[in-house]
Amino acid sequence: MTSSNNGIRLAFLGWAAAVASLLYWVSDLIEAAQGGFSTAQLWLTLLAEAAIPPIVVGLWWFQRERLGRLGAISAWAYAYAFIFFTFTVVYALVEGTPDFEALSDDLGPAMTAHGAVMLFAGIGFGVAVARAGALPAWTGWTLAIGVVLVVVSQGSPEGVQLIAAGVRDLGIGAMGIALLRRGGLGAGSGTG
């Protein structure tokens, strides 16, 4: 692949990470403001969540030589968790689920199990990114802290949950912005 094609792919990945992260947080904000799900809000969530798996795999791909086994396993596991979470949005749309509490009641242990995958994979990917040096370390630490905050804030007031989700979303979004600002990952990174 040519350097020009690589730059275009990095720019697309950067924009996708930044925009999807923002849309994901906006969908959480709308959900909080209206006190539950709505069809439009769920479609926005679906759009944002469905983008997360290819974005995270793309972020791993372009840093793969630096991320090691922890980064690879964590990126793919995080992507897997968000494939499941994307399914939950489709479920909520089809079933007319009114809110997250009802969704959690309907899907029970599967939500908990995939939440645990998201937690450990998010921590692992965040730590791998922070250590790799291909992107600013704070973006990886922000993701790692964000997934912990998302898990521990379950059941907290909406404002606390929004802050937690915002920290998580900032981690991925900032990785995307770092790709845009940098224009590439430099020597020793993946070449696609």
0.75 exceeded by pTM: yes
Q: Is 190 a domain residue?
A: no
Nearest to 161 by CA among 169, 173, 152, 172: 152
Residue with tokens 């749309």: 93
Supply the range of the domain harboring residue 61: 3-182
Residue 167 DSSP SS3: helix
Q: Is 189 a domain residue?
A: no
Q: Is 191 a domain residue?
A: no
pLDDT tens column, 67-93: 999 999 999 999 999 999 999 999 999
Q: Is 38 a domain residue?
A: yes
**Domain count within the chain:** 1
Q: Is 192 a domain residue?
A: no
Q: Is 159 a domain residue?
A: yes
* Whole-number CA gyration radius for the chain: 16
Residue 73: burial class (beta carbons within 10 Å; 0-12, 13-18, 19+):
middle
Nearest to 119 by CA among 91, 75, 151: 151
Q: Are 70 and 128 in contact (CB under 8 A)?
A: yes
pLDDT tens column, 101-160: 999 999 999 999 999 999 999 999 999 999 999 999 999 999 999 999 999 999 999 999
